[in-house]
Amino acid sequence: MLLRRLLPHPLLSVFLAIFWLQLVNKITPGNILLGSFLAIVIPIMTSTYWPDRPLLKRPLKAFAYTGIVLWDILVANIQVALIVLFKPNREIRSKWISVPLELKEPEAITVLAATITLTPGTVSAMLSADGSALLVHCLHSDDPEAVCADIKSRYERRLKEIFG
Amino acid sequence: MIIEIIISALIVIGGIFGLVGSFGLLKLKTTMQRLHAPTKATTLGVGGLLLASMVKAYYDKSMLSSHELLILFFLFITAPVSANFMSKAYMLLRVDEDGLPDTGSDYGWAGYDLPPADTETAHSRLGDSGPSD
C-alpha cells in the first residue's frame, strides 16, 4: 500500500529517472539521486491527472511495436518522397478514409493516431464523436480499403495486444 | 574514414528528406496534402541529422550522447499533435462534412457532432451562449 502511494505510476518513474540521466548526459551519484527524487515526486504530483490509466498488459511488446513503426517510417518516407517528386499534381489522388476502431482506451487511440500521422502518407485528422472511428487523410492511394486494412492489421492489432 | 563517410551519408540523407518535405509544401495543392510534407521532414530529415550527430559524438569523444534520442522522442510525441490541431482547424473552417466518409456509427465526426454523453448539456450550453443570429 505504501509502495503504491509512493510510486503511483512505476513505469513513469522509471522513464523520468532515465530521462533525467539522459538530459544531464553524465552518470554521477548526485545525478542519480536527483533523478530518483524527481522520479518519485513528479508522478505523485501529477497522479490526479491519470485517473483511469490503463495498465500495459504486455509492455515488452511495445519495443517490438516501436521497431516496426520506425521501419515503416523509413519505407513510407521514401514512397512519399517519390510521390512528391515525380507525380504530377493532377495524378495525386488524395482520399479521406474512415478507420473503424476496436480500441477503447483513449491512451491506445492516441498512440494509434500518432503512429498514423508519423508514418508519411497518412495523417489522422479527426475522431468520431463517440470514439468509434478515426478519420485519416491519405496523400495518394488507389485502394483506400487496403490502407485501412493495413492500419488495422499492422498497428491496431499490436496495440490491442499491448493494452490488453 | 569509414565513420566520416557514414556521418556524411546520414547528413545528406537527412538534408534530402528535409528538402523534399519543403518542396512538397510548395508543390502540393491542397492544405491537407501539404500537411503530409512536414511529417516527412521531422521523421527522416531530422532523424538522419540527429543520428549523424550521435555517431560523430561517439567517434570524437567516444561517449554515447543521448540528447539526440531525447530530441527525437519529443519531436515524435509533439509532431502528431500539432498536425492534428492544424488539420482540425482547417477542416472546421473549410471542409464540408458531406464530403467526408461515414463514421460507421450513429454519431458524426467529433468536430461536427457532439459526443454521446454530453449531447444534452452541450446543446443547452450552446443555446445559452451561442450566437443568436
Number of domains chain B contains: 1
Q: Does B22 touch chain A (CB under 8 A)?
A: no
DSSP B41: I
Rounded to an integer, the average pLDDT of A157-162 is 89
> At A8, which amino acid appears?
P
* Percent of chain A's residues with pLDDT above 90: 15
pLDDT one-digit tens code per residue, A86-104: 888 888 888 898 999 988 8
Q: Residue B71: CB partners within 8 Å, gap ≥ 6? A: B46, B50
Containing domain of residue A89, as a range? 61-163
Residue A33 lies in a domain: yes
- Angle of CA points A62, A65, A71, to nearest 5°: 145
Q: Smallest Cα–Cα separation from A161: which of A46, A68, A50, A33? A: A68
Please tell me whether residues A125 and A149 are part of one structural domain: yes
Containing domain of residue B33, as a range? 2-96+107-128
Question: Which residues of chain A make contact with B108, given a CB cutoff of 8 A?
Answer: 128-129
pLDDT one-digit tens code per residue, B54-74: 888 888 887 777 788 888 888
Q: Is the ipTM of this complex over 0.90?
A: no
Please tell me whether residues A73 and A103 are part of one structural domain: yes
Rounded to an integer, the average pLDDT of B68-85 is 87
Task: Copy the grid coordinates of residue A122.
Answer: 497518412
Hey, of B92, B94, B105, B120, which one would you mutate to test binding to chain A, going by the most A CBs within 10 A of its CB? B105
B118 falls in which pLDDT band (50, 70, 90)?
low
Residue A128 lies in a domain: yes
- In angstroms, the CA A97 to CA A90 distance is 20
Question: Which residues of chain A make contact with B104, given a CB cutoff of 8 A?
Answer: 98, 100, 128, 132-133
pTM of the model: 0.83
B120 falls in which pLDDT band (50, 70, 90)?
low
Q: Is the pLDDT confidence value at A127 over 60?
A: yes
Please tell me whether residues A82 and A133 are part of one structural domain: yes
Residue A54 lies in a domain: no
Number of domains chain A contains: 2
Please tell me whether residues A9 and A75 are part of one structural domain: no
Please tell me whether residues A99 and A35 are part of one structural domain: no
pLDDT of residue B127: 45
pLDDT one-digit tens code per residue, B21-43: 888 888 888 888 888 887 777 78
Task: Copy the grid coordinates of residue B90.
Answer: 482547417
